[in-house]
């Protein structure tokens, strides 16, 4: 839950947000996925990406320490169902930056307390998975998890309805205690600054 100042209501509201691990869990619980992957692409690794045929050619750096230090140039996500259906997505770092600036007022302000500023890769992974899975993937049949997906980025009202805050009318509240809730979310979504995720169900 992330606190926001809602200028329309004139009060503080709590917005529910799912981290990228939440999207991974939604996908895994469906039991339909053979493979699910999201990772940062480093400078010099991308040889070619064909969005028409969804084919990517990448030569990953073998030295993990050097790879972690290298500049990120883009993000790649893919999934494959047990029945063989496969979908991929690649965004450049510039496209992800534009997405963050469009949808996060706090990130535009560059005050240092938003998830995008604290863990850009973690938020980029979430964005890639959301774009990929919500459009083409299968989510968990668990109704509780479906409700979690529906309420992502929403304010949950007492009557169970959702209000989606317009990013031009709401401002994230700066939290002095780093452990709440940004640090908690950061701890849940990443183990280090460049953690890639790969799931394969044999």
Mean pLDDT by 10 residues, the chain (202 residues): 67 70 80 92 96 94 95 96 94 96 87 86 92 81 54 54 47 37 36 46 60
pLDDT of residue 105: 81
Residue 26 has a pLDDT of: 77
What is the pLDDT, as a whole number, of residue 146? 56
User: How far apart, in whole angstroms, are the C-alpha atoms of residue 145 and residue 57?
Assistant: 34
- Structural domain of 74: 2-200
pLDDT value, residue 19: 73
pLDDT value of residue 193: 35
Residue 102 CA to chain centroid, in angstroms?
Answer: 15
How many domains, in total, are found in the chain? 1
> Structure pTM?
0.67
């Amino acid at each position: 839950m992330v606190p926001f100042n809602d200028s329309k209501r004139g009060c503080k509201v709590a917005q529910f947000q799912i981290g990228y691990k939440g999207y991974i869990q939604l996908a895994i619980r469906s039991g339909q996925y053979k493979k699910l992957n999201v990772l940062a692409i480093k400078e010099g690794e991308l040889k070619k990406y064909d969005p028409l045929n969804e084919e990517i050619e990448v030569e990953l750096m073998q030295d993990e320490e050097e790879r972690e230090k290298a500049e990120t140039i883009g993000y790649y996500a893919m999934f494959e169902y047990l029945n063989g259906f496969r979908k991929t997505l690649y965004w450049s770092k510039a496209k992800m930056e534009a997405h963050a600036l469009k949808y996060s007022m706090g990130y535009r302000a560059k005050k240092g307390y938003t998830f995008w500023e604290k863990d850009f890769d973690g938020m980029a992974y979430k964005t890639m998975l959301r774009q990929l899975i919500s459009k083409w993937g299968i989510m968990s049949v668990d109704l509780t998890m479906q409700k979690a997906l529906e309420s992502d980025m929403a304010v949950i009202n007492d009557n169970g309805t959702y209000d989606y805050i317009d990013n031009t009318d709401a401002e994230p509240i700066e939290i002095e205690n780093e452990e709440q809730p940004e640090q908690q979310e950061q701890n849940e979504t990443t183990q280090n600054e460049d953690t890639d995720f790969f799931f394969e169900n044999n």
